[in-house]
């Protein structure tokens, strides 16, 4: 997954503002750290990371001059969309980005996370598959 964060960094590192007292190195390190953290969270917590591009941009926008912020957002948005598509593709195939098997997103009656493997193409195991239908109906009525 680091190929996505590194590609964002490579495209934006030249446009980072420099601080006359310390140079550009701390700002570039902050950009790299923020990119890696956002991509890592996207890979590990895809369903609960609603707007990864907006979150990353809010973390790093102060590193760019005002005239370069639109370009920074477009680069971040493009790469985070590609990373999200990649994570979704892996989930459809039944694997996570870290290589560990997927687990059901439901909780049991005791309140502990379900440990079963989800059905391919779904977030839930066969026992909790009905929860996916409930979510689809809620989104259909909200639209």
Query: Angle CA(79)–CA(16)–CA(85) in degrees, nearest 5?
Result: 5
> Do 122 and 52 have their domain in common?
no
> Do 6 and 48 have their domain in common?
yes
| Structural domain for 129, as ranges | 104-143
> Do 82 and 121 have their domain in common?
no
pLDDT digits 0-9 by tens, 33-82:
999 999 999 988 777 788 999 999 999 999 999 999 999 999 999 999 99
Number of alpha carbons in the 13 Å side-chain half-sphere of residue 118? 25
- Distance CA(106)–CA(131), nearest Å, equals 8
Taking the C-alpha atoms of 4, 58, 102 and 111 in order, what is their torsion angle to the nearest 10 degrees? Answer: 170
How many domains does the structure of the chain reveal?
2
> Do 39 and 69 have their domain in common?
yes
- At 102, phi and psi to the nearest 5? -75, 155
Q: Give 136 or 77, the one with higher predicted confidence.
A: 77
**Rounded mean pLDDT of the chain?**
83
What mean pLDDT comes out for the span 14-29? 82
Structural domain includes residue 99: no
> Do 86 and 66 have their domain in common?
yes
| pLDDT at 93 exceeding the cut of 90 | no
């Amino acid at each position: 997954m680091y190929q996505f964060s590194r590609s964002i960094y490579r495209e934006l590192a030249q446009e980072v503002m420099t601080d006359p007292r310390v140079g550009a190195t701390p700002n570039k390190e902050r950009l790299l750290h923020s990119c890696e953290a956002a991509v890592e969270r996207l890979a590990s917590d895809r369903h609960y990371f609603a707007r990864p591009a907006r979150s990353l941009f809010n973390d790093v926008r102060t590193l760019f001059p005002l005239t370069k912020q639109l370009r920074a957002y477009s680069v971040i948005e493009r790469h985070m969309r590609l990373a999200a598509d990649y994570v979704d593709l892996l989930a459809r195939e039944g694997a996570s980005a870290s290589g560990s098997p997927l687990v059901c997103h439901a909780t049991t009656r005791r309140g502990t996370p379900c440990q079963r493997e989800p059905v391919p193409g779904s977030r839930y195991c066969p026992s909790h598959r009905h929860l996916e239908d409930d979510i689809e109906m809620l989104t259909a009525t909200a639209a």
